[in-house]
Structure 1
Amino acid sequence: MDECDHRPRLYAKEIDIAQTFDSEELLEHISRLPISEGDKARLSYWTPIERNRSFHFAGQSFRPSEFQWTRRVECRECVAEVPYHRVWWHLECFRTCPVHGSPLELVRNDELSLVGRWWPRFERAVPERLPDVALGEDSDTIEGWIVRSLMGSEREVVLGCLLPRTGDGHLAPYRTVGNFVEAAEFVGRLLGNERSISVPPFSVKDSEVGYQNLKGGVGAFRAHLRKWMERNRERGFAWRPGDLVGWAADYLAEGDFDPEIDETPSALMRQVSGLIREECGRVLGR
């Protein structure tokens, strides 16, 4: 093997790792390299492991619809500063770099296959990467919250729900981040549009609008919802929640569900749904 060739794809081929690699197998191979125990621990923490139809890394679990191996985007400024691939770029909701404030762009790599997984390639190496991610001044975005949460640098409070921790300080393997993003997209689609009986089309702004309305907790979200309901007040007589919140009334998490048929709603979605029902009941006088 040409020791001057820095392509990870070629190196993987030489040690019999297929293009459609298994993360645990890859991690096992890398752990045999002469690297420090600290680096091995960080690799274990950040490497996405696929189990039970979910991807697990940084103490969190993401559904296949939320994490995509085939997502080929990057922040060009991040790569120019420190050339390594950030795992959060594979999250579907991650669209703007919280470090530089620039939108993610398609990866420029002539060797990328049209389908399937791919190997990042960088034209230069650095002695060591920066130990921490320095977020930009305008990092109060959902992407900034995701990075801080995955790094475990803050105990984020969202509607009274703390991100859980394990004994070593890592985030516990829950869906806290994924559940928040799901709720933010729902709230953003509601509050980011006028009241409508039909579901508004998807917009990249949904998750950001939802984050800005949810980040302050229950009281803040209730206040935002009341203002939205006042702006979109039914001109006639309102009989039911659908007359007040439109399509969203049909998508509120129910208290009763069949786990064999329905996907279990998160505690956060149940909390958001309950609050919307409360506000509808208040306006309807129930």
Structure 2
Amino acid sequence: MTIAFDLRTAPFSRWDVINQVTEPAHGYYARLVSAEGHTSVTSYSDWIDVRARNVSPEHLLDVIEKLPLSADRLNRLRRATPRRHGAKVMLCDEVFRYSDFSYTRRRWCPGCLHEQPFHRVWWDIQAIRRCPSHRTALVDTCADGKTLHWWWPNFDISPDGEALGRPMAVHALGATFESYILGRLGYADRLFAPIIDTCDAGTVIEVCDIIGRLLSNPWSADLPEMPSDATEVGFQALSRDGPHLVETLRAWIRVRVPDAMKTRGWTIVFEWVRIQQNALEDRKIAGVVKTAIRKALALEARGAVDPIQSDDFLKEEIGLTELAARIGVNRKGLPAVADALGLRPEREWYRAPVKFDPVEADTIEHHVRRMMTRVEAATALGMASQDIQPLVDAGFLRSFSNVIGDGPVGHRFLVRDIQKLLDFTGGLPQMKHAKSRSLTTFARNEGLRMGDAAVKVMSGELDCIRGENGKPGFRAVRVIIRNRQSH
């Protein structure tokens, strides 16, 4: 049975005050009190037996729903009213945390109130600190410095009669945190931020706060202060793709993190971040934060210069055992190869499992599959196999053990290391009329092994040129003969 509306028991005598699209129940309720000619929301509420000393949007929505409002007005009022469900709040089909809202005092944008004096629901979201349209900070005090609380029902003037609004220039919405949240609520054009678009609104605030707090402070092992603009800083880092997030973190690490800390594990360098990241309910975004920070730290620890190009690092990582099995080599040898390729910094204090993102794994596999045996390396360099060792001992060539799968036993050499030596010898100048002898002859005359002579070439101890005999590597090197000065 439907109970007929009874004016005598209605909470208000007027309901022709039209509720706005972005106006929540507690703001509209205050305007209805003002329309009754009263100057105190709490006093009027006591008179009609409504609890309003502590603002409860859903409770005041229940009161307003007793009025004979049209279905359209009721629907938009319900949509614009935050409604609590345990520790969560639903607003415009978005899920927030209860702690994201505050009703202890009123906040407003003077420019918005000048245009239309009513409360916008997003002013209650604590993370929103600026008006995206007027680009001014939200205020919570009148011109005389007094805090304005929810007992006051008017939105055009203060209790002392001063205007709460003032003319302000209107700007197009920028790509800011505030504009993003308004777009999620459906009150502005939607901004797209692929990393956080799948998160609920409350998680977006949490993640922006974590990254923003990090980027807005010097490096610290302990939880630092939360600057007022930290949420915006975090949003700017998270608002684009994975590479943008990594490069933003890298820039911060480069300047803020001590060099001695860069080679330690992310759980040590970013201990407070790890704790907060671990507490995120959304494990997908928690994983993104962890992976991006680890990637940024690893790149800076090994002194990488080029920016990251792909977000493949966000895909599932590959462990040493799995990668070794995929390539068909010994697991024990891969860390040394990864170090040599600059894909795994030395981490004296880091004992976590070693993993690589797909791009790194593909790079390691590419170089491992092309590695040369001692005989192949010597042939490429124009030497006998026994002549390789002096170059290894002198640090001009790196050899790797424990990287043997199927094939000949013995050490392996990276093709790119061999190529560096070939580039050096190939880059020597040519001097057609210079008096010179081949490096092979020089070594024999001086009683040197070819490998020891090659070390002298690489060390710059000999004046060398490149011959035109077309022979490979050090066999093309010629040593200039200097006339000895008599004393």
| TM-score of the superposed pair, with normalisation by structure 1 | 0.74
Q: 1:17 aligns with which of 47, 50, 54?
A: 50
User: CA separation in 2, counterparts of 1:37 and 1:81?
Assistant: 26
Counterparts of residues 140-219 of structure 1 (less than 5 Å):
140-151=175-186, 153-162=188-197, 176-219=200-243
Do 2:96 and 2:200's aligned partners in 1 also have CA atoms closer than 8 Å? no
Aligned to 2:154: 121
Aligned to 1:258: none
Q: 2:101 aligns with which of 42, 47, 67?
A: 67
Q: Secondary structure at the match of 1:276?
A: helix
Aligned to 2:29: none
Query: Does the C-alpha gap of structure 1 residues 157 and 111 become closer, same or farther in structure 2, counting only changes over 3 Å?
Result: closer
Do 1:135 and 1:144's aligned partners in 2 also have CA atoms closer than 8 Å? no
Do 2:195 and 2:239's aligned partners in 1 also have CA atoms closer than 8 Å? no
Deviation of 1:135 after TM superposition, in Å, equals 7.2
Alignment deviations for residues 142-197 of structure 1 (CA, whole Å, 9 cap, x no partner): 1121112112654543344535xxxxxxxxxxx61211111111111212233232
Q: What amino acid maps onto 1:95 in structure 2?
A: R
Q: Secondary structure at the match of 2:136?
A: coil
Do 1:197 and 1:242's aligned partners in 2 also have CA atoms closer than 8 Å? no
Deviation of 1:253 after TM superposition, in Å, equals 3.0
Deviation of 1:30 after TM superposition, in Å, equals 1.9
**How many residue pairs are counted as aligned between the two chains?**
256
Deviation of 1:75 after TM superposition, in Å, equals 0.9
Q: Secondary structure at the match of 1:106?
A: coil
Query: Does the C-alpha gap of structure 1 residues 186 and 160 become closer, same or farther in structure 2, counting only changes over 3 Å?
Result: closer
Alignment deviations for residues 209-246 of structure 1 (CA, whole Å, 9 cap, x no partner): 11111111222111211222223353337442359844
Do 1:66 and 1:92's aligned partners in 2 also have CA atoms closer than 8 Å? yes
User: CA separation in 1, counterparts of 2:109 and 2:141?
Assistant: 9
Q: What amino acid maps onto 2:133 in structure 1?
A: V
**Which runs of 5 or more residues in structure 1 are unaligned?**
125-133, 164-174, 255-261
User: CA separation in 1, counterparts of 2:118 and 2:106?
Assistant: 14
User: CA separation in 1, counterparts of 2:115 and 2:191?
Assistant: 28
Do 1:179 and 1:266's aligned partners in 2 also have CA atoms closer than 8 Å? no
User: CA separation in 1, counterparts of 2:236 and 2:37?
Assistant: 46
Q: Does 1:231 align with 2:255?
A: yes
User: CA separation in 2, counterparts of 1:7 and 1:149?
Assistant: 35
Q: What amino acid maps onto 1:280 in structure 2?
A: L
Do 2:103 and 2:124's aligned partners in 1 also have CA atoms closer than 8 Å? yes
Q: Larger helix proportion, structure 1 or 2?
A: 2
Give the number of the structure whose alpha-carbon radius of gyration is greater: 2
Do 1:62 and 1:178's aligned partners in 2 also have CA atoms closer than 8 Å? yes
Do 2:262 and 2:297's aligned partners in 1 also have CA atoms closer than 8 Å? no
User: CA separation in 1, counterparts of 2:272 and 2:232?
Assistant: 18
Aligned to 2:482: none
Q: 1:220 aligns with which of 241, 244, 264?
A: 244
Q: 1:273 aligns with which of 290, 301, 321?
A: 290
Do 1:159 and 1:215's aligned partners in 2 also have CA atoms closer than 8 Å? yes
Q: Does 1:31 align with 2:65?
A: yes
User: CA separation in 1, counterparts of 2:57 and 2:98?
Assistant: 15
User: CA separation in 2, counterparts of 1:195 and 1:279?
Assistant: 15
Name the structure, 1 or 2, with higher relative contact order (CA <8 Å, separation 6+).
1
Root-mean-square deviation (CA, aligned residues, Å) is 3.4
Q: Secondary structure at the match of 1:251?
A: helix
Q: Percent identity among equivalent residues?
A: 27
Aligned to 2:449: none
Q: What amino acid maps onto 1:215 in structure 2?
A: S
Q: Secondary structure at the match of 1:61?
A: strand
Q: 2:134 aligns with which of 77, 86, 100?
A: 100
- With 183-192 and 21-30 compared, the bigger mean Cα shift is at 21-30
Do 1:184 and 1:207's aligned partners in 2 also have CA atoms closer than 8 Å? yes
Alignment deviations for residues 44-87 of structure 1 (CA, whole Å, 9 cap, x no partner): 10111122132221112222321112242111221111011011
Deviation of 1:281 after TM superposition, in Å, equals 4.2
Q: Secondary structure at the match of 1:28?
A: helix
